[in-house]
Amino acid sequence: MISYKQLKIHLLTLAFLPLSLSASAENGSRLWLPANANANAQVSADKKNPAIAIAVQELQRHWKNVAPVKLVIASAKKAGNLGSDGFAISGNINAGVSITALTGQGLLYGAYHLLRLQATGALTENISVTEIPKYQVRILNHWDNLDRSVERGYAGRSLWEWEKLPGEISPRYEEYARANASIGINGSVLNNVNANPQILTGEYLRKVKAIADVFRPYGLKVYLSVNFASPKTLGGLPDADPLNGEVAKWWSAKVKEIYALIPDFGGFLVKANSEGQSGPQDYGRTHADGANMLADALKPYKGIVMWRAFVYNPTPEDRAKQAYSEFVPFDGQLRDNVIIQIKNGPVDFQPREPFSPLFGALQRTQEMVEFQITQEYLGFSNHLVYLAPLFKETLGSDTYANGQGSTVAKITDGTLRPAKVTAIAGVANTGDSASWCGHHFAQANWYAFGRLAWNHELTSEQIADEWLKMTFTSDENFVKPAKELMLASREACVDYMMPLGLHHIFSFNAHYGPQPWGYFPDGRPDWMPVYYHRADAAGVGFDRTAAGSNAVAQYFSPLREQLSDVATCDERLLLWFHHVAWTHKLKSGRTLWDELCYRYDSGVREVRNMQKAWDRLEPYVDAERFADVQAKLQVQAKDAVWWKDACLLYFQTFSKLPIPYDVERPVHRLDDLYKVFFTQDDVLKNNYCIK
């Protein structure tokens, strides 16, 4: 564990960090953090610990008001229900400001919040702010591998330089911890959910310890994804059966070893019996058996198990139903330090999905939502897609599980159902690229996840406003149009990719670009786009009503009935739940076919509007970032046309209907698009070719 004296070394690094970044700040490496400054503010603290030392340092260097700032550790009696991370800020910016918290971590979050108010012009003369996070665990999931490749990562190699650890510590570890602390993220799963068992060897645990030591002063706990078969592959046991006493003993010993090195270790993330990963079902056991065994090993150390509900194995059942079918039978059977981690939608991080029906269905089980910040199905780091609206859409969805108003947010944050552990996760989009995320605007999605994890009542507009002012400039001539661009981007993406509830019609190989015709005889049906859109001469869409897969039965009334009826189903999800005739009239008065044509065309036009809006902002942005974003928008505009042409020309082979004349004519031939093949690396190098 890092000592107060050792922290001075870290603070020296921090003190010089912005100076080293300032020369190249235009490359995006600064993120939304305060620019280099030395305000020499008057800051005092009544206690000393590593987190408080960082809070003092940040305020001394960046608080620009003349009023002194006092950091106070209060008793529980005086501070009320702030908890370990909450804080209160009060005072007058001309006379003096106090930040009060129960812990040093709370004071650090308070310091960053005060600096955020200053940077965004939100300070008032008299301040009275109390902030308590909505979720206890606010965590990033890294899909980083030990060879430094990143599964579904589009920003270079992994941040973690395993080959150099523990002896050599990259300065980016502290920059990363600082960025997360500034938005309230307090946990990081370092490795891929498709976990390599080697992460649990003594060699790698010492490397993990080195990272944890850097993170600790910022309140960022380390977690690990674990391979369920580790007792067999590492420990030499004949099996990994969770009901085998020797297996349980192996895990208990391994957990003890971890906590001896990392006393504040957070716990395990587990992907089991999904996509070929080992799990308790290999031995005829249940997810509950596996999760409880690990939970028992972690319990003495207050560690948690985040058990993923992404179960994706070959089955004749509708893939959208699998998680519900497998987990609802175990409701109430899990330990109180187990939390089921559920993707926001029932399939797989699509541009738009209904919320997973598991939310609310697990009445006696702790649940957490998993979002994907990295844009696996949203144009990688090539497309500007601001994800706060997607996150908000899920969190605000009403499950009706406890009557009207039972939103996903209230189900998971402990409001409606008291929980020992509340949590929210985001699959990280960071890499070793200079801009961290591969696209300057992709940083906003990391920022938005952290802010919503802290307070899911913030609006997408508020978060965009903050991020733009802190990252670029507070000039309203820039902020207003840039914010409008961001807020329009997600709906534009849905329109040019998969409007009206279409889903999973991506290129099979790379998950980038359209391939609605995709079908491979040797592949599983639920890997294929044709499985999801089911286009034929009669219409298009997946029938999930009682006449089809009956996935609607997994939702509570009255939502179940609303979704079951074409007339009342949210048209944004129409083709998710219904196979609809090409000539069916929608609320717009258009037929389904014409509406699809207009939606695809609208998406293309909106991306072009985004290009024009960005070009007008050139006077307000440094040359390097302006050019980078402009180039990415050019790729996005080209891709949007590709999507429109591929989908409309392909679906037209079934509908046999003309594309309306006021919709832009296709510029590609379908036969040529059938021949397009590329890998993820081709996309990242911009080597893919659309003839």
Rounded-to-integer distance, Cα 273 and Cα 286, Å: 10
Helix (H, G, I), strand (E, B), or coil: what is residue 70?
A: strand
For this structure, is 475 an active site residue?
no
Residues in the chain, how many?
A: 691
**Quick one: which H or E segment has residue 302?**
none
SS (H, E, C) 404-437: CCCEHHHHHCCCCCCCCCCEEEEECCCCCCCCCC
Annotation says 370 is catalytic: no
| Measured distance CA(43)–CA(55) in Å, rounded | 9
Contact 277, 228 (CB under 8 A): yes
DSSP class per residue in 91-110? EETTTEEEEEESSHHHHHHH
376 included as an active-site residue? yes
Instruction: Write the DSSP symbol of residue 264.
Output: T
Which among 257, 275, 457, 681 is annotated as catalytic?
Answer: 275
Q: Are 107 and 97 in contact (CB under 8 A)?
A: no
Q: Is the dihedral of CA 329, 332, 338, 342 positive or negative?
A: positive
- List Cβ neighbours of 459 (8 Å cut-off, separation of 6 or more): 392
Cα separation, 426 vs 436, in Å, equals 16
How far apart are the C-alpha atoms of 174 and 170, rounded to whole Å?
Answer: 8
**Cα 630 from Cα 636, distance rounded (Å):** 10
Active-site residue, selected from the candidate residues 348, 570, 624, 682: 348
With contact defined as beta carbons under 8 Å apart, do 285 and 278 qualify? no
Nearest-angstrom CA–CA distance, 48 and 37: 24
- Residue 639 phi, psi dihedral angles, 5° rounding: -65, -35
Angle at 100 between CA 95 and CA 104, to 5 degrees: 125
612: tokens are 């024009």
Catalytic residue among 85, 144, 376, 594: 376
Q: Cβ(562)–Cβ(569) under 8 Å?
A: yes
- CA gap 184, 105 in Å, rounded: 10
8 Å CB contact between 448 and 33: no
Whether 501 and 572 have beta carbons less than 8 Å apart is answered as yes
Q: Which token pair is 628? A: 């980078």
Q: Which of 510, 513, 511, 494 is nearest to 502 (CA)?
A: 494
Cα 376 to chain centroid distance, Å, stands at: 11
Burial of residue 90, with CB atoms counted within 10 A of its CB: 0-12 exposed, 13-18 middle, 19 or more buried: middle
* DSSP 8-state code for residue 330: G
Q: Which residues are designated catalytic?
A: 275, 348, 376
